[in-house]
Amino acid sequence: MSREAMESRKPVRVALLQAGAGRDRDDNLQRQERLFQEAAEQGAEVICTQELFAAPYFCQEENVEAFRWAEAIDGPTVRFLRKQAQGAKAVVIGSFFERRAPGLFHNTAVVIDPAGTLLGCYRKMHIPDDPGYYEKYYFTPGDLGFRVWPTPAGRLGVLVCWDQWYPEAARLTALRGAEVLFYPSAIGWHPHEKENEGAAQADAWRTMQRSHAIANGCFVVAVNRVGREEGPGGRAIEFWGRSFVADPMGRVLAEASGEEGVLLADLDLGRIEEVRVHWPFLRDRRVDAYGEIAARYLG
């Protein structure tokens, strides 16, 4: 696309659906449907849910009963998302617990066009295993690589939650042509850590994703869940929300509070060309010197 064509593109309106989730799947879907309707009424062209929006965050413990939340890619949650895309006439990005085959599960995001057609999916590549985030018990690491989809709203790349801490994931997605990186997420505080570490943790999360926008000269859309979800033994996670959108210079264009709702932002995709001309990070990469990045450790 020429520079003139880039500069003439109209802004793209994105909607971030930030909500809580409980143990009633139907209630979770109804809650999201209200947010989809609000986003559509506000003219959203891309609508993105939080991570695992149709389920509670069951990864607080290793519990075989939680596999009941998993679905095939043609199951009810993806059918719901396809219906919402058609109703809103928008591109929809949604995250769900995929049952790929017996005993094989992924943390998956789907991309659906305004006609309700499933364009494809991304399977979360980086899987955490920390207190309260026992995702390795449930999810097989993704095997589709880093992907980008051309859509009526631009070239969109999708990564999921823990992926957001890895500059390699953002870079490889951007190198495939992504203009916007979407990060459906479920991140929060352990209540006993909040007083001493909470502010630093939330700031690190925000800073890391802003850095992806700057380093790659693209937009970043981070969509988080909200609410306190109880775990085993009296433990809990307080999901902090604070979904936000950053432009190619890392400026925060819109940011949510810790409450449920829809966050809107208008993305001027023509800014990508302008910023990359003045900050030519992709031009100046020493691709001849990076072979060792594939090593686990070089110390």
The C-alpha angle 36, 37, 39, rounded to 5 degrees, equals 65
Whether 151 and 111 have beta carbons less than 8 Å apart is answered as yes
Q: Which pair of tokens denotes residue 42?
A: 């506000």
51 is catalytic: yes
Catalytic residue among 45, 59, 71, 124: 124
Catalytic residue among 45, 51, 98, 273: 51
Read off the amino acid at residue 138.
Y
Catalytic residue among 48, 59, 121, 161: 161
What is the radius of gyration, based on Cα positions, of the chain?
19
Whether 198 and 187 have beta carbons less than 8 Å apart is answered as no
Distances (CA, A) of 166 to 66, 144, 193, 284, 291: 28, 17, 23, 20, 17
Q: Phi and psi (nearest 5°) for 52?
A: 50, 50
Q: Show the DSSP H helices in the chain as ranges.
A: 3-8, 25-41, 76-88, 167-175, 191-216, 270-278
193 is catalytic: no
59 is catalytic: no
Three-state SS at 99:
strand
| Max CA pair span of the chain | 59
Active site residues: 51, 124, 161
